[in-house]
Amino acid sequence: MKNRSNLFLGILLIAIGGWLVATRQIPSLQNFTENMTGATWTIAAGALILVIGLLTGAPGMAVPASIVAGIGGILFYQDRVGDYSSWAYMWTLIPGFVGVGTLLAGLLGENTRRNLGGGLRMIGFSAVLFLIFGTFFGDLDFLGEYGVAIILILLGLFILARGFMRGGGRSETS
């Protein structure tokens, strides 16, 4: 485990040092970094976490990388549009970011079958939360005034159908 930590620290220091040299030697790169916002730095941090995870052979690092980059994406959207009140429902995307990271970890070979299924469930859960809260707080109105009710009814039907399919429609008796 200590070797992995040393590898991580070494790669991180080399990457930071290389970046500093590159920004001093290439003026356009320095201008680019000066124009980056906090949101783009957050996305870049998520990408760096993913790269470090790949280089150290730790596919599970895709989960925190996806969370950090996803939050950076939310901040980027809010900065560009000026819609900071959207945080009232945007937070519901975070479980989806966990799902994306879990999917990536599965695709990179870490508990592939379990992570792919779990990642898809988390993304679905996040999408439902996003639709419910987005509709409830009035920003997503494509389903009209009955949006929340429609989503909840569809979710309930899905859960019932899934329960019948898994259990074969049998009830347990004592």
Exposure string of 7-45, with b = 16+ CB inside 10 Å and e = fewer, is: ebeeeeeeeeeeeeeebeeeeeeeeeeeeeeebbebbbb
- Does residue 174 register a pLDDT over 50? no
Res 138: pLDDT: 64
Higher-pLDDT residue of 79 and 20 is 79
DSSP code at position 110 = S
Any domain includes 162:
yes
Identify the domain containing residue 141 by its residue range. 73-167
Considering its fold, how many domains does the chain have in total? 1
pLDDT in tens, 55-107: 888 889 999 999 999 999 999 999 888 888 888 889 999 999 999 999 999 99
Any domain includes 15:
no
Any domain includes 9:
no
pLDDT in tens, 132-145: 788 777 676 666 67
Give the chain's end-to-end CA distance (angstroms, integer). Answer: 49
Res 72: pLDDT: 94
Residues 87, 43: Cα–Cα separation, whole Å = 17
- Model-level pTM? 0.71
Structure tokens at 100: 């994306």
Polymer length of the chain: 174
